[in-house]
């Protein structure tokens, strides 16, 4: 009788349990939608910090000692320090125009030869730290506290990651870099130039430069900022990350120094991308309409596009950046799919598959190679490539990291790291295979001579490649449009970040202040182009990335201490709660 009763009750018990789970799931989805659609509109990068277990702000408020007036609300030490250094750089570059080009070349070579090993080791360390945190018990910690929900849909989140992360770079280098490596392969692989083996190495090396390493750097800064702002109640500035080490000193000299370095790194990292982007736009306009490709015309383009970026800045994060990022994501996806279909489809898919295997197989070798046994001959190859990229990603990381932090509240640390590191990496691989693979196919089959175009002017590579496929004029115009929109989203996002840093992490900053920093980004890009072109852009990234590398290394330890404390408190509170097995279902 007892057995029969149990067998009769089990299905009913299971049925009720299933219904309860479904109702709970439905409630979760409704609450998530509410967090996304019914939240307060943001005009900038401002947040209302929350703390999951305790508040470490100690009564300090963002911008409490700011200077206000004339449409500005500035942290005096950070703003003056960064502004003076920036002004000195601009004046010296403009006054000593001829000498600056030589200086930038020597700076690029000097830092690469002396500190290239530091960049290589550090980038690997950041990736390993992120992987260990994601796999550890810390992965279950939720950004914003146990009850926080995502504020943006997953699609919008991914769209903003890609647009802010490396959109201009993908457009500029997707054709040019594989062709460069095809003509001059890395000495590590000893592949003969302009061969099938060189083509394999070319895409594999490109995968390495655009793979998990840059996104590991972004994930480190983004996670650190999000955790200390949303879980510890500290301002959304780089100095806050070092609270476990510096304590109240983050509000003094050391905190100011960290934020000044962050501002300079962000400005020069942005200037590098904007400079590359405007060179490509100028080449595209020359190709389509015969416009000049002079430096003066490029500077004019910077001014025009910066104007549109300022308009987007005024509309704010929710409207301007979110709309443009989503629109750009869709346009870029259509552009890539079109080329995938009209181009050598099977070749592209085979190259994508094979090069993922090549990347995984050679990742340890690629990651730790520093030309130790090749002397000066090898240094001539790695400095303008891997060392430049690592310096660029590091100098770009305060901007991208802060932007990612701002849009990632409500996600678990594991979800954050996996989402930031894997999805953009795979998408970058597919993009590089589609555009770079098509260019290599044209070169290998001798349908078009992309290599000569790259040697003549690297910024024309995309447009020369598109000549071999249908609707050349239309696709070239779409390419220009994508670069312009990437320029705008990068510029307005970057100006919001710089503005946030120079206002002491204040929630609301005046519109004139945001416009000022947007204009300064354009000025930096213009000055670098006039002072040495591509070499100057590369040198600026590497130079500002070097001191910030030290900041990121210390950041790893500080983040570990913060997560360890958070997990400890979560465990203690969990043990204090009485064990219950009830399910609360809202009616």
Read off the pLDDT of each residue in 108-134 and give the average, rounded to a whole number. 93
**Using only C-alpha atoms, what is the Rg of the chain?**
25
Tell me 192's DSSP state.
Answer: P
What is residue 557's predicted lDDT score, i.e. its pLDDT?
96
Indicate the pLDDT class of residue 133, thresholds 50, 70 and 90: very high
Contacts of 101 (CB under 8 A, 6+ apart): 531, 532, 533, 535, 536
The Cα–Cα gap between 83 and 102 comes to: 25
| Range with the largest mean pLDDT of 196-205, 231-240, 560-569 | 196-205
Residue 322 has which token pair?
């979110």
34: left (phi over 0), alpha (psi -120 to 50) or beta: alpha
More confident residue, 223 or 526: 223
- Torsion angle, CA of 563/565/566/569, rounded to 10 degrees? 160
Of 416 and 513, the one with more pLDDT: 416
Of 98-107, 462-471, 495-504, 576-585, the one with minimum mean pLDDT is: 576-585
CATH number of the domain located at residue range(s) 73-371+383-574 in this protein: 1.20.1740
Residues contacting residue 103 through CB under 8 Å, at least 6 positions apart: 96, 532
Q: pLDDT at position 284, please?
A: 86
> For residues 492 and 320, what is the distance between their CA atoms, to the nearest angstrom?
9
Residue 302 has pLDDT above 70, yes or no: yes
SS3 state of residue 359:
helix
Residue 93 makes CB contacts below 8 A (sequence gap 6+) with 100, 527, 528, 530, 531, 536
The pLDDT assigned to 2 comes to: 47
pLDDT of residue 110: 85
| 491 contacts 518 by C-beta, under 8 angstroms | yes
d(CA 397, CA 266): 7
Which tops the pLDDT comparison, 487 or 574? 487
| Residue in 190, 534, 244, 243 with CA at minimum distance from that of residue 378 | 190
Closest CA to 133 of 482, 435, 557, 488: 557
Confidence of residue 267 (pLDDT cuts 50, 70, 90): confident
The listed range with the strongest mean pLDDT (13-22, 178-187, 380-389, 576-585) is: 178-187
pLDDT for 17 equals 66
Phi/psi for 51 (5° steps) reads: -125, 135
Residue 263 CA to residue 39 CA, distance in Å, equals 29
8 confidence band (pLDDT: 50, 70, 90): very low
* Percent of the chain with pLDDT strictly greater than 90: 37
Query: Quick one: the chain helix, strand, coil %, rounded to 5?
Result: 80, 0, 20
Tokens linked to 212: 């998990």
Q: Kindly state the tokens that stand for 12.
A: 């009913």
Alpha helices in 290-344 (DSSP H): 295-315, 322-342
Which pair of structure tokens corresponds to residue 293? 């490709």
Task: Answer yes or no: is pLDDT of 272 > 90.
Answer: no
For residues 149-154, average pLDDT? 81
Nearest-angstrom CA–CA distance, 225 and 303: 32
pLDDT band at 44 (very low <50, low <70, confident <90, very high): very low
Whether pLDDT at 12 is above 60: no
Cα–Cα distance measured from residue 432 to residue 202, given in angstroms and rounded to the nearest whole number: 11
Q: Which of 149-153, 340-344, 530-534 has the lowest mean pLDDT?
A: 530-534
* Selection from 493, 526, 416 nearest residue 134 by Cα: 416
Position 327 scores a pLDDT of 78
pLDDT class of 7 with cuts at 50, 70, 90: very low
The residue count for the chain: 587
Residues paired with 232 in a beta bridge: 51
**What does the alpha-carbon distance between residue 79 and residue 66 come to, in Å, rounded to a whole number?**
10
* pLDDT at position 5: 46
Q: What is the pLDDT of residue 243?
A: 92
Mean pLDDT across the stretch 261-275? 84
**Helix/strand/coil (H/E/C) assignment for every residue in 131-175:** HHHHHCHHHHCECCCCCCCCCCCHHHHHHHHHHHHHHHHHHHHHH
Which alpha helices (H) appear in 38-153, and where do they start and end? 76-95, 97-135
pLDDT at 328 exceeding the cut of 70: yes
Q: Give the least confident one: 69-83, 311-325, 337-351.
A: 311-325
DSSP code of 459? G
Please report, rounded to a whole number, the percentage of residues in the chain having pLDDT higher than 70.
85
Query: What is the mean predicted confidence (pLDDT) over 123-133?
Result: 97
Q: List, in sequence order, the alpha helices (H) in 407-471.
A: 413-421, 423-444, 450-456, 461-466
Higher pLDDT: 492 or 244? It is: 244
Q: What is the pLDDT of residue 467?
A: 92
**Residue 33 corresponds to which tokens in the numbers above?**
């939608």
pLDDT at 64: 77
Give the mean model confidence (pLDDT) for residues 341-348: 95
Residue 312, both tokens: 């987007």
Q: How far is Cα of residue 189 from the mean position of the Cα atoms in its chain?
A: 29
94 pLDDT band (50/70/90 cuts)? confident
Look up the pTM and report it. 0.84
The torsion of the CA quartet 236, 241, 245, 248, rounded to 10 degrees, works out to: 0
Map out the domains of the chain as residue ranges: 73-371+383-574
pLDDT in tens, 222-255: 999 999 988 888 888 899 999 999 988 998 999 9
What single-letter DSSP state applies at residue 316?
-
Rounded Cα distance, 482 and 282, in Å: 13
Tokens at residue 330, please?
């869709």
Question: Quick check: 463 pLDDT over 60?
Answer: yes
* Listed range (72-86, 358-372, 518-532) with the worst mean pLDDT: 518-532
Q: List, in sequence order, every residue forming a beta bridge with 73; answer none if it has no partner.
A: 68
State the Cα–Cα distance between residues 117 and 124, nearest whole angstrom.
Answer: 11
For the purposes of burial, counting CB atoms within 10 Å of the CB of 271, is it exposed (0-12), middle (13-18) or buried (19 or more)? buried
Residue 446 CB contacts under 8 Å (≥ 6 apart), including other chains? none
Most confident option among 59-68, 307-316, 388-397: 388-397
């Amino acid at each position: 009788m007892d057995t029969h009763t149990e067998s009769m009750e089990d299905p009913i018990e299971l049925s009720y349990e299933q219904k309860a789970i479904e109702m709970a799931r439905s409630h979760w989805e409704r609450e998530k939608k509410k967090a996304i659609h019914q939240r307060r509109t943001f005009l900038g990068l401002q947040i209302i910090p929350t703390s999951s277990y305790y508040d470490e702000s100690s009564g300090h408020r963002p911008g409490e000692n700011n200077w206000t007036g004339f449409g500005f609300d500035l942290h005096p030490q950070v703003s003056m320090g960064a502004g003076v250094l920036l002004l000195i750089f601009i004046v010296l570059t403009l006054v000593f125009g001829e000498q600056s080009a030589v200086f930038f070349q020597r700076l690029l070579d000097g830092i690469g030869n002396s500190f290239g090993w530091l960049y290589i080791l550090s980038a690997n360390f950041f990736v390993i730290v992120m992987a260990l945190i994601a796999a550890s018990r810390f992965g279950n910690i939720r950004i914003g506290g146990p009850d926080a929900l995502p504020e943006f849909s997953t699609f919008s989140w991914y769209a903003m990651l890609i647009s802010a992360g490396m959109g201009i770079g993908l457009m500029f280098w997707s054709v040019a870099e594989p062709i460069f490596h095809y003509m001059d392969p890395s000495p590590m692989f000893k592949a003969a130039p302009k061969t099938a083996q060189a083509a394999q190495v070319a895409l594999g090396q490109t995968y390495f430069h655009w793979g998990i390493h840059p996104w590991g750097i972004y994930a480190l800064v983004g996670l650190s900022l999000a955790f200390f702002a949303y879980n510890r109640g500290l301002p959304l500035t780089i100095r806050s990350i070092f609270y476990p080490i510096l304590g109240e000193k983050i509000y003094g000299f050391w905190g100011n120094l960290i934020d000044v370095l962050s501002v300079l790194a962000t400005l020069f990292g942005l200037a590098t991308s904007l400079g590359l982007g405007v060179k490509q736009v100028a080449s595209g306009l020359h190709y389509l309409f015969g416009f000049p490709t002079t430096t003066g015309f490029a500077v004019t383009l910077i001014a025009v596009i910066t104007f549109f970026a300022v308009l987007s800045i005024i509309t704010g994060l929710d409207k301007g950046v979110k709309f443009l990022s989503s629109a750009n994501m869709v346009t870029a996806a259509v552009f890539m799919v079109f080329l995938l279909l009209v181009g050598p489809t099977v070749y592209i898919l085979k190259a994508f598959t094979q090069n993922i295997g090549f990347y995984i197989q050679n990742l340890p070798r690629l990651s730790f190679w520093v030309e130790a046994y090749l002397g000066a001959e090898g240094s001539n190859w790695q400095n303008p490539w891997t060392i430049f990229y690592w310096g660029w990603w590091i100098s770009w990381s305060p901007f991208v990291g802060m932007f990612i932090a701002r849009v990632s509240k409500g996600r678990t640390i594991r979800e954050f790291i996996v989402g930031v590191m894997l999805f953009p990496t795979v998408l970058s691989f597919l993009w590089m295979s589609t555009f770079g693979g098509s260019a290599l196919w044209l070169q290998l089959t001798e349908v078009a001579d992309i290599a000569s175009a790259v040697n003549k002017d690297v910024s024309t590579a995309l447009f020369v490649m598109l000549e071999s496929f249908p609707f050349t004029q239309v696709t070239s115009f779409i390419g220009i449009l994508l670069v312009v929109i990437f320029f705008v989203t990068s510029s307005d996002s970057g100006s919001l970040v710089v503005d946030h840093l120079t206002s002491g992490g204040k929630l609301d900053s005046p519109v004139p202040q945001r416009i000022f920093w947007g204009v300064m980004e354009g000025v930096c890009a213009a000055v670098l182009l006039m002072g040495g072109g591509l070499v100057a852009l590369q040198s600026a990234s590497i130079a500002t990335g070097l001191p910030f590398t030290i900041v990121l290394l210390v950041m790893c330890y500080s983040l570990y201490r913060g997560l360890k404390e958070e997990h400890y408190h979560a465990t203690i509170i969990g043990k204090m709660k009485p064990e219950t097995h009830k399910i609360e279902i809202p009616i």
